[in-house]
Structure formats: C-alpha cells, structure tokens
Structure 1
C-alpha cells in the first residue's frame, strides 16, 4: 500500500485538493471550492485547498488536519490505516466510506 492511501482507504493521489496543491493549480482549487462548499454546506476558500495527503507529512485541508474523525482515531490508535484496526468492519466512523466505496474497502482489506 502506498503512502497516498488515506487511513480510510481513499486514494489521496486521486483527490483534486492534492492535485491542485502539487501542481499549484488555482483553477482546480476554485473548482474544488465550489464543489466542496455545495456538498458540505459550508464556506470553503481557495487557501483551504492545500493538502499533500492524509498520511504524509505536510499541509492538509482544515478538515483533513483536525476535523476528520477517522484520521484522528487512526493517529490515536497508531495504526498505518484503518485496515490495521480490529474494529474496522464495525466502526461507525468508517462505515459511510467503506459502504459507499468498494475500492477503499478493498485497499483496507489488502485485496
């Protein structure tokens, strides 16, 4: 598993926030701001769209840095990903992601 796989199994390399950060692409940041603001019903600004990846050292979006319950739990449990946690299949924090994203679940299961 690469370092770009988030604790929850999502692929950070495919995340438009990460792509905008790596390429310093302000047009892509603006697109992400529009989409994420609507989706989350909160005001998101372009300066918030900077992230190198969930498990990598470096800048994160405000959500990924401190609001994501999955990331905070995994850091506290000191696991590489949620796939290393014995409670993965029953975890209420993780259930929405792995029930809606079979690729994330497969990554965590190591398949």
Structure 2
C-alpha cells in the first residue's frame, strides 16, 4: 500500500490519516561518499559566496540528510548545482561533485 489513507466510519472508530510512507532506502557507501564530497566542497565555497547564496546553500545542505527521499535529494542537488554554476570557475569543483552524486543516484 502506498500513499495516504483516510478511513471514516459514521463518526466512530476514525483513525484519521494513516501515512504509508516507506523510509528512504539506505545509501550505498559510494553515495554516502559522494554526498560527503559535496558537503566538503560546499563548505569550502560557502565563505566566498554572497550572504543570500550562503543561506540558500545552507538550506540545500540541510536537505541532503540520510533520511532525504530520492526526489527531494535530487531537487536539493540541482539547487546546489545552480548555486555552484553562478560563481563560474570558483564553483566548478562543487558542480562536478554534484554531477557525480546525481549519477550515483540515477539522475
């Protein structure tokens, strides 16, 4: 069963919303390492970004946790890649690491 289920029986025995969400699959060692590289390079670039970009980068990095679902992780990686691309050659190593991570996640 997937997705949310709501059961209502004449105002009695209502269970409310049952969230049938499977936990995110565990990361492979390669995926975990790729995300660690992304985090490391992002931290190195962070100090060289304008405040607004630092905040966006911080928000993106917070979304890369182990519990992040596939679509959310992919969206977050694309957002980080966008930030890296805006700073040109300075962001190239981060952009390359994001691309490598995306390949490992099948994006």
- Output the TM-score relative to the length of structure 1: 0.27
- Which structure has more relative contact order (CA 8 Å, sep 6+)? It is 1
Name the TM-score, length of structure 2 as normaliser.
0.28
**Structure richer in strand, relative to its length:** 2
